[in-house]
């Protein structure tokens, strides 16, 4: 048989060149061109002007809150999302189907509705806020409220990323570890966690990416006080309302660069973890 036959036989998609062309064109229209417009708009600024805008104290404070709270929220979701996925996969209990459906609620719920609901719950006169008020714990209209909102919207990403991996895990792995004398923590740490780590990192990255750009659910509970609880997306909106389009695109470009750098680092870490596990699996 000719080499051309084998090339046609083992192509993943029929008409690969045409499919690739459509894919690149679609990606360019939806992602690359809008992002490049930010770069083009910001190119009218000199490097010194760009740095002056993005290094302003109010802008830096909004960056610290958005990226710091997003990283913390994604880390919390990685821990508790794994626990929730574990319970949904491993244990039968009443109302399991309902809880499994509720996990997807932040996907379907409008972000503004989520923000209003969280504010009503955690305000000083809310159901939860009233219980925390005597202890001096204020959630609504503080950076802590921003963290709560970001945890709420990011949890499904971790659960839905880890859950299929847990469902596909063979119970023989845990049984073999138990027969070799490993207790539960050793089995989880040395057998299960290495398998779950790539999925956990993926869920972490998705939750972080969603949290960084979140606006609707945060804007109501944050309080939006400059230098205290003002998020970076709100800073962009504020500059747009002041007709400072160049300043808004400069802040957006800085967010884009920081987000891309962090996501790239997470993906590199995920690839390194996968390569280490692959090398460890070889005889």
pLDDT single digits (tens) 26-69 = 888 888 888 888 888 888 888 999 999 999 999 999 999 999 99
Of 263, 216, 70, 234, which Cα lies nearest the Cα of 151?
70
Give the span between the Cα atoms of 32 and 51, in whole angstroms: 24
Query: Does position 171 have pLDDT exceeding 70, yes or no?
Result: yes
**Alpha-carbon distance 232 to 214, whole Å?**
10
Q: Which residues contact 281 (CB under 8 A, 6 or more apart)?
A: none
Q: What is the dihedral of CA 220, 226, 227, 230, to 10 degrees?
A: 30
The pLDDT confidence band at residue 185, using thresholds 50, 70 and 90, is confident
155 domain residue, yes or no: yes
**Whether residue 74 has pLDDT greater than 90:** yes
- In the prediction, which pLDDT does 6 show? 46
pLDDT (tens digit, 9 = 90+) per residue, 7-17?
555 555 556 67
Q: At which residue do the structure tokens 């606006």 appear? A: 215
Half-sphere exposure of 221 (CA within 13 A, CB side): 34
Within-domain flag for 92: yes
Domain of 96?
A: 62-230
* pTM of the predicted structure, to 2 decimals: 0.85
Q: Report d(CA 166, CA 82) in Å as an integer.
A: 10
What φ, ψ does residue 43 adopt, rounded to 5°?
-65, -15
Q: Which of 65, 66, 71 is nearest to 266 (CA)?
A: 71
| Torsion sign, CA atoms 223, 225, 230, 236 | positive
User: What is the C-alpha to C-alpha distance for residues 183 and 212, in angstroms, rounded to an integer?
Assistant: 39
Is the confidence at residue 155, as pLDDT, over 90? yes
* Structure tokens that stand for 144 in this block: 């802590």
On the question of pLDDT at 126 being above 80, the answer is: yes
177 found inside a domain: yes
Does some domain include residue 52? no
The number of domains in the chain is 1
Residues 132, 51: contact at Cβ < 8 Å?
no
Question: Is 42 a domain residue?
Answer: no
**Average pLDDT of the residues in 156-174:** 87
Measure the CA–CA gap between 168 and 158, rounded to whole angstroms.
Answer: 16
| 134 inside domain | yes
**Angle, vertex CA 115, rays to CA 110 and CA 117, nearest 5:** 95
Within-domain flag for 214: yes
97: domain CATH number is 1.10.3720.10
Residue 272 has pLDDT above 80, yes or no: no
- Would you say residue 106 lies in a domain? yes
Residue 63 and residue 258 in contact, taking contact as beta carbons nearer than 8 Å: yes
């Amino acid at each position: 048989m000719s080499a051309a036959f084998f090339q046609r036989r083992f192509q993943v998609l029929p008409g690969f060149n045409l499919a690739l062309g459509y894919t690149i064109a679609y990606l360019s229209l939806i992602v690359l061109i809008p992002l490049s417009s930010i770069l083009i708009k910001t190119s009218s600024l000199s490097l010194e002007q760009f740095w002056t805008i993005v290094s302003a104290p109010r802008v830096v404070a909004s960056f610290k809150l958005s990226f710091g709270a997003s990283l913390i929220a994604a880390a919390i979701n990685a821990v508790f999302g794994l626990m929730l996925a574990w319970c949904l996969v491993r244990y039968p209990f009443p109302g399991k189907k309902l809880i499994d459906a509720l996990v997807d609620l932040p996907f379907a719920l409008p972000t503004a509705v989520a923000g209003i609901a969280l504010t009503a719950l955690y305000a000083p006169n809310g159901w939860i806020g009233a219980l925390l008020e005597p202890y001096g714990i204020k959630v609504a209209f503080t950076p802590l409220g921003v963290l709560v909102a970001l945890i709420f919207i990011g949890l499904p990403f971790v659960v839905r990323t880890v859950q299929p991996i847990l469902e596909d895990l063979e119970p023989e792995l845990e049984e073999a570890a138990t027969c070799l004398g490993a207790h539960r923590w050793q089995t989880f740490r040395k057998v299960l966690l290495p398998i779950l780590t790539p999925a956990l990192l993926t869920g972490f990255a998705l939750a972080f990416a969603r949290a960084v750009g979140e606006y609707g659910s945060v804007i109501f509970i944050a309080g939006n006080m400059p230098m205290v609880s003002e998020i970076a997306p709100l800073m962009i909106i504020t500059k747009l309302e002041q007709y400072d389009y160049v300043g808004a695109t400069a802040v957006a470009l800085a967010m884009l660069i920081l987000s891309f750098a962090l996501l790239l680092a997470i993906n590199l870490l995920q690839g390194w973890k996968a390569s280490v596990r692959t090398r460890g699996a070889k005889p």
